[in-house]
Structure 1
């Protein structure tokens, strides 16, 4: 199975950040080599708009056949509302809820993020998946890039 990896803004921005660059760059090498498809949302593209050009160009530099753009739909907005109303995440972190809902609705293989507070957080992941199952959606895998890349020698 060819993995479809929803990548949030933190991973793309992490490409040039000394703390996150090794794993973020390895993930982008996987996308470039066609080992996985980058799933990027209109939310992420909007968040990247004010970023430096070198960050914005990372996605454009990938072969188009390994990039899938998805949209925040009204269904995903409702699912994000459910995460908030269920207390999984606060209303002030709505964009994070929308990332997770969009990835869920589009049934990606995994969502990757460096946001350890609101996204890659075991208690919250359990909460997101509880809401998903209650509403008839599949569980979502949420990981850091370190956990999804093949380790390079």
Structure 2
């Protein structure tokens, strides 16, 4: 079976240490270690992880290199990020969230996985991301919480 290319935002890493999300987040990373998914990581994710506590960063360093794909920074990401903001999908204060979705869209991943229910995993936001992506020549992107992705 083909590995899915999954873009996890930083909330999934931090979710490993959250009372509500830890079990599912840890299971997600177990599935990654088992080779079920390839994680596509952007400059934004890596930057946010650098700012995170060491225990959160340790999750990334515990993953085998063969399940990681590091994106190159691209002007295309900045243009799409600004298009989400200009369309009112997200406000300027949510620029990093817009960067996550833009990075994943440019990379053409199979899905985004996030615990951010306010700015990313939200039906109105997803509709907005889809509309901007289609107008700009990108495909609609699947966006889920880890709970919807891990094996039961």
TM class by shorter chain equals over 0.9
| Structure-1 separation of matches of 2:18 and 2:72 | 27
| Structure-2 separation of matches of 1:136 and 1:22 | 37
1:114 aligns with 2:115: yes
1:3 aligns with 2:4: yes
Q: How do 1:1-153 residues align onto structure 2 when only pairs under 5 Å count?
A: 1-151=2-152
1:12 is paired with a residue whose SS is: helix
Q: Which moved more, 1:37-46 or 1:74-83?
A: 37-46
Following TM superposition, by how much is the alpha carbon of 1:132 offset from its aligned partner in structure 2, in angstroms?
A: 0.4
Following TM superposition, by how much is the alpha carbon of 1:39 offset from its aligned partner in structure 2, in angstroms?
A: 1.4
Q: Which runs of 5+ in 1 are unaligned?
A: none
Q: Deviations over 1:91-136 (max 9, x none)?
A: 1101100100000000001001101000000001000000100111
Q: Which moved more, 1:92-101 or 1:44-53?
A: 44-53
Work out whether residues 43 and 72 of structure 1, in 8 Å CA contact, stay in contact via their aligned partners in 2. no
Q: Which runs of 5+ in 2 are unaligned?
A: none
TM-score normalised to structure 2 length? 0.96
Q: Deviations over 1:13-47 (max 9, x none)?
A: 11111111011101000110001111111111111
Q: Deviations over 1:60-84 (max 9, x none)?
A: 1111101111134110100011111
Work out whether residues 71 and 102 of structure 1, in 8 Å CA contact, stay in contact via their aligned partners in 2. no
TM-score normalised to structure 1 length? 0.95
Equivalences, count: 151
2:6 is paired with a residue whose SS is: strand
